[in-house]
Structure 1
Amino acid sequence: MAFGDYLTYWLATIAPARLKPATLNSYEGLSRLYIRPALGKKRLNWLSPADIRKFLAEFKVACLCCLRGADAARPEGKRACCAVGRCCKRLPSVRTVQYVHAVLRSALQQAIREEMIARNVARIVETPTVDRTEVRPLEAGEVRLLLRTAQAHWLYAMWLLLVSTGLRRGEVLGLTWSDIDLAAGTLRVRRNVQRIRRELLFGTPKTMRSVRTISMPKRCVLALTAHKEQQEQERKVASAKWQPAPGHPAGVVFTTVTGRVTDPRSLNRMLTVLCRDAKVRRVRVHDLRHTCASLLLAQGVDARTIMETLGHSTITMTLDTYAHVMGTTLRAAADRMEDMLGGDAPAED
């Protein structure tokens, strides 16, 4: 069997039962755009570690637009940048390279289970080293400017939550009022919402660690209380037009004026406008999650607590992601050690 035909079989029959919809959609796109054009004609049982290593090495430094130029599924007018005489040099991100390798490993591992091949050649090949982009969170002054500007925004409570609790975009939009205890000042993360092709789908969080209960600052409780009252007014004004989408949970916190869940894709556009109006540098919604972690570290909060707040699967992920912004915490630890050892250092002769 050709590897491309096997990928089609695996994505259609095996992967849907094992992968979440968003992951499956991502794997299908990576397979169609990048893996199948490069390796699809190779025989499944003839694939070698050298084939995988060469593909990943070339993919790491290839322009994504140029790679997509050979895809017959692209609509007219969406040609590759090189096809019109210039190259945008848009290289794959760290996660894209890792995902491509993950698709190869997962697909070939299933082929072993079905006794189609004897070994998983993708597992033999390490993922090519890619320089990780350094996280650039907002500073405390920039956060205050942004939130001051966001006070007039209809989703002010959401922006405050993103900065204060580090929720992911899909997690904050998946919240319902039953998940929030305003009296206790806590919220429970137990679902998320994602756009898969043309549908907004609710699902379970990223990992088991992502199902968590978070304590909120009082400012968030007050903002959510005001938001709830505002939503009730919008419901009365909309009247019969207030129609949540079929199959979606009742009582979604952050909805449109007709009661529909807010599209996750629209948040980055909203944040771009807020950053412009606040005169702070442009950031993504996910950067607010990094901002939350950085602010907590600057206040001396320990890594374990930050891990639980953000819902990271391991503390290693927390430490690796925010190692470069832990200078304040490390300085404070050194100062506390100095105090414990007796205060002032002995004078030199």
Structure 2
Amino acid sequence: MAKRRANGEGTITKRKDGRYHAAAYVYRPDGTRTRKFVYGRTRDEVADKLTEMQEMTRQGIPAASSTMAFGDYLTYWLAAIAPERLKPATLNSYEGLARLYIRPALGKKRLNRLSPADVRRFLTEFKTACLCCLRGADQERPEGKRNCCAVGRCCARRPSARTVQYVHAVLRSALQQAIREELIARNVARIVETPTVEPKEVRPLDAGETRLLLKTARSHRLYALWLLLISTGLRRGEALGLTWSDIDLSAGTLRVRRNVQRIRRELIFGTPKTMRSIRTVSLPQRCGRALIEHREAQERERKVAGGKWQPATGQPVGLVFTTATGRVTDPRSLNRMLTILCRDAKVRRVRVHDLRHTCASLLLAQGVDARTIMETLGHSTITMTLDTYAHVMGTTLRAAAVRMDDALGPEDEEDEPEGDRTA
């Protein structure tokens, strides 16, 4: 006699149409349990699906169903699927967008009832809505406190085109996973046209402003960092994630292989943005000399700090740019430092990321080709380089035209008569 399955272990049954189905209790995103069915053409296929579903239940991972609310599905996707596929900073951004904007507007819709019209209407209303009121729509407010529109004084803050694009991206990614799990037949977010984003013109420092800034930064304890950011175009997190083992001063190169980012209240070390971001960069001689001086200064700081020199837990050994007590430098603190340097140098205020743009514009002005700049900056495609710096390539394009004149040689003083030309 076959052993009877225990309660909750699931059952497999053959249907009248010849297919099989199985049922088992699974967790919902809200922590409650419900009975879920899976289907297949063979018993083995259904048994595999049942085993996978039961394993998720044993791990406490909620299982999705096509009839669940879209808000619950977002919770499930962000908790069980997205962490395996997204970098921590991207995941943190997606969680915020879902909590503040998507779930309040679309959360109560059934996953299998969500339509292109729902998504299109949401994006249209989101683009023109007051950002302050959107963020407070699903949150309880203290007694007597209302959003700005409710009191008749709208703050006129609207989501940027980039934010709208990111919200659309979250919808597409979540629904694409629902297709993989065979919960829905189509991705309704893909049907809706992606909102366009007008690229902002970058405003890098010119050569004169760059010299003034570096002259002012010469006495700063992180002078080597500012020079490195301008000379190599490293991202802020890439520079702060460098260790001395990543730098070969004798060969004049450095290897970018990690970055550091602030995720909520923690500084997290991770891999760079894309595979092309993992790269080897050549160092100008001036950078090499500055790094040698910085290493000597860091050793003096270590001796002065003594027992107070305590690197943070999980921090790589031998970080190049640390605080005076050996801890990783918070990327946000660089913004404040640069603001003060710009003020003291009497140049317009720029962001740390604008130093990356400054590097690219200076290289272009020196006639360096776009492909080399792409490799230096770690862009994923050369199209990104050309699109980002198209407006600062005027000098390079003019130089190319002059070189073409040189290649063609001097013009004849008089054209030959038609009759004198031979076939």
Structure 1 120/224 Cα, relative in aligned 2: closer, same or farther at 3 Å? same
2:374 to 307, 322, 325: 307
1:185 to 243, 248, 252: 252
Structure 1 344/287 Cα, relative in aligned 2: closer, same or farther at 3 Å? farther
Cα distance, 1:334 vs. partner?
0.8
* Equivalent position of 1:198 in the other structure: 265
Contact 1:94/1:132 (CA < 8 Å) preserved in 2?
Answer: no
Structure 1 91/234 Cα, relative in aligned 2: closer, same or farther at 3 Å? same
Matched, 1:277 2:344: yes
Cα distance, 1:230 vs. partner?
0.6
Matched, 1:261 2:328: yes
**What percentage of aligned pairs have identical amino acids?**
84
Contact 2:259/2:272 (CA < 8 Å) preserved in 1?
Answer: yes
Three-state SS of the structure 1 residue aligned to 2:269 is strand
* Equivalent position of 2:302 in the other structure: 235
- Of the two structures, which has the highest relative contact order with CA contacts closer than 8 Å and spacing of 6 or more? 1
Cα distance, 1:90 vs. partner?
3.3
Cα distance, 1:96 vs. partner?
2.1
Matched, 1:137 2:204: yes
Which 10-residue stretch deviates more, 316-325 or 123-132?
Answer: 123-132
1:39 to 106, 117, 131: 106
Contact 2:127/2:159 (CA < 8 Å) preserved in 1?
Answer: yes
Computed over aligned residues only, the root mean square deviation of the Cα atoms, in angstroms, reads 2.2
Q: How does 1:113-262 map to 2 (within 5 A)?
A: 113-262=180-329
Cα distance, 1:110 vs. partner?
0.5
Structure 1 144/197 Cα, relative in aligned 2: closer, same or farther at 3 Å? same
1:20 to 84, 87, 99: 87
Contact 1:2/1:43 (CA < 8 Å) preserved in 2?
Answer: yes
Distance 1:189 1:69 in 2: 41
Cα distance, 1:76 vs. partner?
10
Distance 1:73 1:244 in 2: 41
- CA offset digits 1:251-284 (Å, max 9, x no partner): 0010001110000111111111111111111111
* Equivalent position of 2:71 in the other structure: 4
User: Normalising to structure 2: TM-score of the pair?
Assistant: 0.78
Structure 2, unpaired ranges of 5+:
1-67, 416-423
User: Normalising to structure 1: TM-score of the pair?
Assistant: 0.94
Matched AA of 1:237: V
Cα distance, 1:83 vs. partner?
5.9
Distance 1:230 1:318 in 2: 36
Structure number with greater Rg is 2
Three-state SS of the structure 2 residue aligned to 1:282 is coil
* Equivalent position of 2:52 in the other structure: none
Cα distance, 1:73 vs. partner?
7.8
* Greater share of helix: 1
* Equivalent position of 2:124 in the other structure: 57
Structure 1 21/75 Cα, relative in aligned 2: closer, same or farther at 3 Å? farther
Cα distance, 1:127 vs. partner?
1.3
Cα distance, 1:57 vs. partner?
2.5
Distance 1:337 1:79 in 2: 66
Three-state SS of the structure 1 residue aligned to 2:73 is helix
Matched AA of 2:279: R
Structure 1 240/9 Cα, relative in aligned 2: closer, same or farther at 3 Å? same
Three-state SS of the structure 2 residue aligned to 1:104 is helix
Distance 1:267 1:346 in 2: 60
Matched, 1:325 2:392: yes
Distance 2:242 2:141 in 1: 35
Distance 2:209 2:99 in 1: 41
Contact 1:163/1:288 (CA < 8 Å) preserved in 2?
Answer: yes
Cα distance, 1:120 vs. partner?
0.4
- CA offset digits 1:130-182 (Å, max 9, x no partner): 32211111111111111111111111111111111110011000000000111
Distance 1:9 1:341 in 2: 65
Cα distance, 1:82 vs. partner?
4.4
Which 10-residue stretch deviates more, 74-83 or 1-10?
Answer: 74-83
Distance 1:33 1:346 in 2: 72
Three-state SS of the structure 2 residue aligned to 1:213 is strand
